[in-house]
A and B are shown apart, each in its own frame.
Chain A
Amino acid sequence: MNCKSVQTYLSAYLDGELCGQESLQVRDHLMRCGECQSEEHQLRTLKQMLRGLPTYSPNAEFENRLVASVMGKATGRPALRLHLNFRWQVATGMVAAGILIALAVTKLTERSVPGANALPVATRDSTFEFSRDQLFMAGNDPLSGNRFVVPTSYGKD
């Protein structure tokens, strides 16, 4: 196993979700690789911290309210049902099959555009630049409420 595959399996390894052989392979690699050990240590710390977070449970009334709400919706508006005879069922099926075939043919004969398989790239504009600068400033301000600012706006205006 190389570093890339070990790091893919690390989370499952720590959660005890790997089969015996995979688990042994990961453990074997970890004993030899400092970088993956460091990664494993960080992930373990993170998981421990997350386990320490408080859990929230809904109040006692929640289930009753949810069921009542769903039942109310279900009984409030009856579902629309079409009763078709056999001929109409065959015709509808054929039309649907025809649409599917047409879509498949269109897809297969589509010309490949150069660069179409490239990974998506964010569009950059002033909002992007604005987020970048806010990130820069927040990193320099230990008293800020947005100290660990995360850029969230990368779309066009």
Chain B
Amino acid sequence: MGLLLIALALPILPLAVWSVSFRWFYPDVVPSVWSLEAWVAVLSPANNLAAATADTVAVASLVTVLATLIGVPAGRALGLNEFPGKRVVELLILAPIVVPGVAVALGIHGLFIRYGIANSRLGVAVVHLVPTVPYLTLLVSGVFANFDTDYELQARSLGASALATQRFVTLPAVGPGVAVGALFTFLISSSQYVLTLLIGGGEVVTLPLLLFSFARSGENAIAGALSLVYIAPGVVALWLSSRHLSGNSAALGGLQKL
């Protein structure tokens, strides 16, 4: 468990050092001049950190809701039923992940302009469904494959209505698994670059877009600081959910001990 934590934390360390460096050249192991300038710059209103965070959270939240609404019923159907050609369907569901994002986005862009949702948070959220719904659907199908639907029948037989059965029996059983799926959806959405850039058209600037603009212009200290901010929601989300998921996954269980 200790090794795992080191493996998770180690890549973050150089970013942290970058964020407080002013001058750091080869062959110095640590920066020769330290400074908090980068943090000041990142947190200054001029750099739009607040706006980018708002865009990121708004888009990712919307994506999570939409993807869950699509992916959970689809995953349930896929997980509980056997039918000829099921493997093919599973492969087709994964297809959007295989196709390069640029190709998808260029095609969809024209359509979104016609519907008037290009350059908007809604448009970005809808296009983010392309890389997220496949993962969520397959993950949820795995959750349901391990769920014995006789539990639902037992509840009905004991007097629970269809709705009460979903609430008191199905949800507690599959909830944690669906929550992990939703969490991954949120994280995948908040790390999208190409799709956000093309469909957002510069109007929707999420954290990765902000980060890339600094990294590209050689502002390593600011990029480092921004990276830490950018990682934060994911770590927080994992930490929060790990309280409900301990034991399900070593990585998540380990984070709980932080």
Mutual binders A and B: no
Q: What is A's interface to B at a CB cutoff of 8 Å?
A: none
